[in-house]
Amino acid sequence: MDTDTITAANIDTVLPTLPAHTYGTLTAGDLSWNIAETQLTVTLGSDETIAGGETVNPTSAVKDVAGNSDATTAPGKAIPEEEGFAWEWWYTLLIVLFGLIIIAGIVLLVILPKRGADEFEDELYGEEGEEEEF
């Protein structure tokens, strides 16, 4: 592939999608070719409208290293649709925080009643060796 024929500035026009959506605002760093320059990975930018399921349809402006235009006659590969639940870093954070709250609650339930009972016993019976008069 002649990677110079696809840039962040022209990707919407040289690799249009069907139905027509946009890749969003991209920078050069958002386009990444594999070592053999046969696969392009695009990190979608802000304001992108791709939902998944669209097909990518290269125009004749996309050329191979010999300068030949793309000869695709059928729609290109479909953009994968996002499937199901995507685990995010903050889910892990919420689970850890919830776990810490549970542990703190258990510790408080075990320590506070015991401490309270000891103090109550001292108040009820007084200190050892003291006798109370009635």
pLDDT at 101: 95
pTM beyond cutoff 0.85: no
Helix or strand run (H / E) with residue 14: helix 11-14
Tokens of 130: 């003291």
Over its length of 134 residues, how does the chain's per-residue pLDDT go in tens digits?
Answer: 788 989 999 999 998 888 888 898 999 899 999 998 888 888 888 888 888 888 888 888 888 888 888 767 667 777 777 666 666 778 888 999 999 999 998 888 887 766 555 665 666 666 655 555 65
pLDDT at 73: 67
Residue 26's nearest CA partner among 45, 53, 47 is 45
pLDDT at 133: 60
Other beta carbons within 10 angstroms of residue 132's beta carbon come to: 6
pLDDT at 124: 60
Tokens of 33: 């070719």
Per-position DSSP letters for 67-134, written without gaps between them: SPBP---S--PBPPPP-S----HHHHHHHHHHHHHHHHHHHHHHHHHHHHHHHHHHHHH-STT-----
